[in-house]
Chains A and B, each alone.
Chain A
Amino acid sequence: MDQTQKKLLESIADLHEMPEGAYNIRANGALESRNTTANIDIVTKTDKPGIDIFIKPGTVNESVHIPVIISESGLTDLVYNDFHIGEGADVTIVAGCGIHNCGTQTSQHDGIHSFFMGKNSKLRYVEKHYGEAEVEDGQKIGENIMNPTTIIVMDEGSYMEMETTQIRGIDSTKRITNATLAEGASLVIKEKLMTHGEQYASTEFTVDLNGEGCSTNVISRSVARDKSKQIFVSRINGNAPCAGHTECDAIIMDDASVSAIPEVTANHIDASLIHEAAIGKIAGEQLIKLMTFGLTEQEAEEQIVNGFLK
């Protein structure tokens, strides 16, 4: 692995060296290295690109890292990763994709991640997307595209927390997440997004609350700068006695554009659903407050944005 790849790995997975536990590192469309444990098996798919990750029932306090890094310009990488979380397991999965586009061509990574959550299993899933490109005469010359799709199937009593972050360098992204929840299952999604330049980001969450007593909380915080565009769709269908909450909070700056489209549908009398959406610029009084601490207007703005996305 070269320095560029190591730097990408650090940006998306906070990894400075090989992680502990199970991992599968994919670099420029091919397997770079892999490690399995007694409880976690990783198997290459034979019918299409990607891997199956099997976590044995009852596995606790283990983690899986599956970073993808692309440092070749013009590479299009499509990968299907399926996660089978055994009954009663309690694990952490860290995924992420980093692109360093050193050339003029478009680099693209489309990851399709499917999670099959066994009964009463627990998962914390952390996903980071990051891109960088060479700059010539102040202009970026290569485009970075990422289109992650996440499919979540939750069995009775399972719990999943998904943290998805995209802060820099992705020019175009279409992010789709579809989840179905059985009885007593609970899904928490926290999205953090920042777009700049002329970037485009579309996020679409659909959660079907199918089982009695299941619940979801979908929270998005985003910042749109420069001339970037964001579209956020959060769709929750309450098909049983259930609870759903969705919240989109966006800071708009410069000439950016943000659309928030919450859609909650109750198909059951005991479905309780709430949506909240707020878009606005940074409040003038927030800037003034930090300026009374001696920060310049620009420094104040950075602090507010960083805090908001923390």
Chain B
Amino acid sequence: MLELKNISYVVEEENRQKEILKDVSLTIEDGFVAITGPNGGGKSTLAKVIAGIYTPTSGQILLDGEDITSLSITERAKRGISFAFQQPVRFKGLTVNDLITLAAGKPISIGEACAYLSEVGLCARDYINREINASLSGGEMKRIEIAMILARGTKLSVFDEPEAGIDLWSFNNLIKVFEKMNETINGSIVIISHQERILNIADKIIVIANGKVDKIGTRDEILPEMMDSSGICRVLADKA
């Protein structure tokens, strides 16, 4: 279980202080949690604060009761936090197999690495020895990014807009991946998303707007409200 207590994140921009996250408190239990809300509302920042990439200006983060606020990215990863980037990183020279093996954190067979690729709808044979370089398309990179999180198999996986940059055909497969993860889940999955179909499979939905928690509730509580609220609905429609 992950608890955020009074998290604020302030950056200096053009000599003035800008508060990206304002006193955010929330609890993420086991299960499938979707974080949504308008662009620029602080969702990605929140995900990076959870992964340790940003250190909050104030507040406290607890993972299964342990205060991890001051822990590095590495230490948080070792304690079971995974983070899928919105824009996956390319590496000259490192192959898909290299990265999946690093993600797994132990030597794995080619067969095991291939299984993770197949899960995300990539023909493993074509990809396993490819370099993670500019020759891979954005959609391929996103799927490999998700395969790496599957290989990590940690108790908390955070995905920052996994659907961004993925074409419609791939998106259907992506939904299946998350549906399957949801069935076999052992821990928490947090997905930042604008996609109604992803929100539809969430146990819990958190709406972040203007750096604050706007709403928290079950899918049945939040979704109808969002669909009625023209503001957020328009954002969702734009994104879809």
Residues on A close to B: CB < 8 A? 221, 249, 283, 285-286, 288-297, 303-304, 306-310
- Give the distance to chain A from B70, nearest Cβ to Cβ, in Å: 15
- Give the distance to chain A from B82, nearest Cβ to Cβ, in Å: 7
Is B118 located at the chain interface by the 8 A CB criterion?
no
Give 19 CB contacts A-B under 8 Å.
Answer: A285-B85, A286-B89, A288-B53, A289-B89, A291-B72, A292-B73, A292-B83, A293-B77, A293-B102, A293-B103, A293-B105, A294-B77, A295-B102, A303-B94, A303-B102, A306-B93, A308-B91, A309-B93, A310-B94
Main secondary structure of the interface of B (DSSP, over half): mixed
Contact partner of B51 (CB less than 8 A), chosen from A285, A292, A295, is A292
- The 7 A-B residue pairs with the shortest CB-CB distance, nearest first, are A307-B94, A307-B93, A294-B77, A291-B73, A308-B93, A289-B89, A294-B78
| Contact yes or no, B94 A292, CB < 8 A | no
A118→B10 CA distance, assembly (Å): 69
| Contact yes or no, B89 A294, CB < 8 A | no
From B105, which residue of chain A is reached at the shortest CB distance?
A: A294
Q: Given the complex, which residues of A lie within 8 Å of B53, measured CB to CB?
A: 288
Residues on B close to A: CB < 8 A? 51, 53, 72-74, 77-78, 81-83, 85, 88-89, 91-95, 98, 102-103, 105, 148, 152
Starting from the known contacts A289-B89, A291-B73, A310-B93, 17 additional A-B residue pairs (CB-CB under 8 Å) come to: A283-B89, A285-B85, A286-B91, A292-B82, A293-B103, A294-B78, A294-B105, A295-B74, A295-B77, A297-B74, A303-B98, A303-B102, A307-B95, A307-B98, A308-B91, A308-B92, A310-B94
Q: Given the complex, which residues of A lie within 8 Å of B105, measured CB to CB?
A: 293-294
A291→B48 CA distance, assembly (Å): 13
Contact partner of A296 (CB less than 8 A), chosen from B74, B85, B103, is B74
Contact A290 B102, CB 8 Å, known A285-B89, A304-B91: yes
Summed over the interface, the residue pairs from A and B with CB atoms below 8 Å come to a total of 59
| Contact yes or no, B93 A288, CB < 8 A | no
Main secondary structure of the interface of A (DSSP, over half): helix
A133→B89 CA distance, assembly (Å): 38
Q: Given the complex, which residues of A lie within 8 Å of B89, measured CB to CB?
A: 283, 285-286, 288-289
Contact A294 B92, CB 8 Å, known A289-B85, A303-B102: no
From A278, which residue of chain B is reached at the shortest CB distance?
A: B92
- Give the distance to chain B from A280, nearest Cβ to Cβ, in Å: 11
From B48, which residue of chain A is reached at the shortest CB distance?
A: A288
From B131, which residue of chain A is reached at the shortest CB distance?
A: A307
| Contact yes or no, B94 A304, CB < 8 A | yes
A296→B75 CA distance, assembly (Å): 8
A105→B81 CA distance, assembly (Å): 53
A108→B103 CA distance, assembly (Å): 43
A221→B91 CA distance, assembly (Å): 13
- Give the distance to chain A from B65, nearest Cβ to Cβ, in Å: 21
- Give the distance to chain A from B149, nearest Cβ to Cβ, in Å: 9
From B95, which residue of chain A is reached at the shortest CB distance?
A: A307
Q: Given the complex, which residues of A lie within 8 Å of B83, measured CB to CB?
A: 292
Of A249, A289, A296, A310, most B-chain CB atoms within 10 Å: A289
| Contact yes or no, B94 A294, CB < 8 A | no
A295→B98 CA distance, assembly (Å): 14
From B88, which residue of chain A is reached at the shortest CB distance?
A: A289
| Contact yes or no, A292 B77, CB < 8 A | yes
Of B53, B81, B93, most A-chain CB atoms within 10 Å: B93
A286→B92 CA distance, assembly (Å): 10
- Give the distance to chain B from A233, nearest Cβ to Cβ, in Å: 22
Q: Given the complex, which residues of B lie within 8 Å of A295, measured CB to CB?
A: 74, 77, 102
A294→B98 CA distance, assembly (Å): 15
